[in-house]
């Protein structure tokens, strides 16, 4: 299992300070960095380059969702940045996902394409309002579509991992919503590092539990330890 730290702090300076703190204590091979939509809009491609210059692998989490041609052009621009992984929405449909992978297979880039299934802000009621099916049924269908389209993996909640692994153990699973203790925030489906490992997550994404810690080094050490056992 891999650790990816989300750089979603209020300013570029805070994000950079956190990255330098990470680099001073941990080998960059152990940790990925996630750049989300707000940080990318605010800080741009030079922010990506500065992280790459420090040796980190980059997960660019823009959750692309548009018509196939527009998505392919956007993916091309992301690949030109040299990022290692990018996200699209599985809701874009099988036609779009197939075209994206046909394009991706023809390029010289080794960028992983990961599809978002259901956002972790959804509970069953919220999901059913939008998709008109129960959450667990929708997750299974998304996982099947993603697998059939040869997408490299998907983003899902930890609670959804057993469903995804039933569809295919080859799908690379990225799980946000990791918490070190019970918390109340906008992510409804959350769980611990150990639970993520036990259920087979391939990459956990953690942000706020690290930002909010007084001793960030200690928290990251504990996360890495929990990943081992």
Q: Among all residues, which ones are annotated catalytic?
A: 63
- CA distance linking residue 1 with residue 39, whole number of Å: 25
Helix, strand, coil percentages, rounded to 5, for the chain? 50, 20, 30
Phi, psi for residue 61 in degrees, rounded to 5? -105, 80
Contacting residues for 17 by C-beta, under 8 A, at least 6 apart: none
Question: Of 168, 141, 145, 167, nearest to 97 (Cα)?
Answer: 145
Could you tell me where the DSSP H helices lie in 3-67?
Answer: 12-25, 37-53
Cα dihedral: 50, 178, 63, 48 (round 10): 0
């Amino acid at each position: 299992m891999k650790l990816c730290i989300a750089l979603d702090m209020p300013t570029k300076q805070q994000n950079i300070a956190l990255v330098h703190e990470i680099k001073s204590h941990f080998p960059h091979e152990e940790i990925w960095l996630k750049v989300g939509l707000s940080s990318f809009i605010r800080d741009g491609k030079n922010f990506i380059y500065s992280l790459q210059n420090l040796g980190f692998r980059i997960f660019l989490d823009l959750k692309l969702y548009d018509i196939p041609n527009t998505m392919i052009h956007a993916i091309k621009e992301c690949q030109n940045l040299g990022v290692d992984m990018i996200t699209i929405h599985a809701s874009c449909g099988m036609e779009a996902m197939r075209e994206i992978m046909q394009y991706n297979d023809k390029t010289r880039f080794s960028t992983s394409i990961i599809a978002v299934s259901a956002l972790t802000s959804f509970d069953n009621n919220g999901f059913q309002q939008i998709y008109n099916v129960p959450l667990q049924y929708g997750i299974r269908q998304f996982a099947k579509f993603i697998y059939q389209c040869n997408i490299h993996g998907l983003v899902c909640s930890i609670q959804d991992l057993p469903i995804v692994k039933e569809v295919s153990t080859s799908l690379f699973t990225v799980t946000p919503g990791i918490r070190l203790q019970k918390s109340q925030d906008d992510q409804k489906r959350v769980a611990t590092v150990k639970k993520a490992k036990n259920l087979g997550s391939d990459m956990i994404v953690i942000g706020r539990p690290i930002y909010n810690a007084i001793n960030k080094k200690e928290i990251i050490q504990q996360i890495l330890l929990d990943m081992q056992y």
